[in-house]
Homo-oligomer: A and B are copies of this chain.
Amino acid sequence: MKETSVVDDVMRAAVELFAANGYANTSVQQVVEAAGVTKGAMYHYFQSKDDLLFGIYDRMLSLQKEHLDAIVAQGGPVGDVVRAVCIDVIETSIDFLPEGTVFFRSMHMLTAPRQSEVTRRRRDYNDIFASLIEQGQAEGLYRTDIPRAVLIANFFADVHYLSHWYSPEGPEGKTLLAEQLTDLFLTGIDASAAKGAAS
Instruction: Name A residues whose Cβ lies closer than 8 Å to a Cβ of B.
Output: 21-25, 77, 79-80, 83, 104-105, 108-109, 146-147, 149-151, 153-154, 156-158, 160-161, 164-166, 171-172, 177, 180-181, 183-190, 193, 195, 198-199
Contacts and interface: CB of A to CB of B under 8 A. Distances in A.
Given A80-B199, A180-B150, A188-B184, A25 B157 contact: no
Contacts of A187: 187-188, 190, 193
A83 B175 CA distance: 30
A146 B184 contact: yes
Q: Please tell me how many copies of the chain the complex holds.
A: 2
B172 A150 contact: yes
Contacts of A24: 22-25, 109
Given A83-B198, A187-B187, A188-B184, A156 B150 contact: no
B161 A156 contact: yes
A81 B156 CA distance: 26
A146 B186 CA distance: 14
Contacts of A80: 199
Contacts of A164: 104, 160
Contact of A79 (B83, B177, B199): B199
Contacts of A172: 147, 149-150
Interface centre among A181, A183, A193 (most CB of B within 10 A): A183
Nearest to A20: B108
A154 B105 contact: no
Given A184-B189, A188-B187, A199-B79, A157 B161 contact: yes
Contacts of A109: 22, 24-25
Given A108-B22, A160-B160, A180 B146 contact: yes
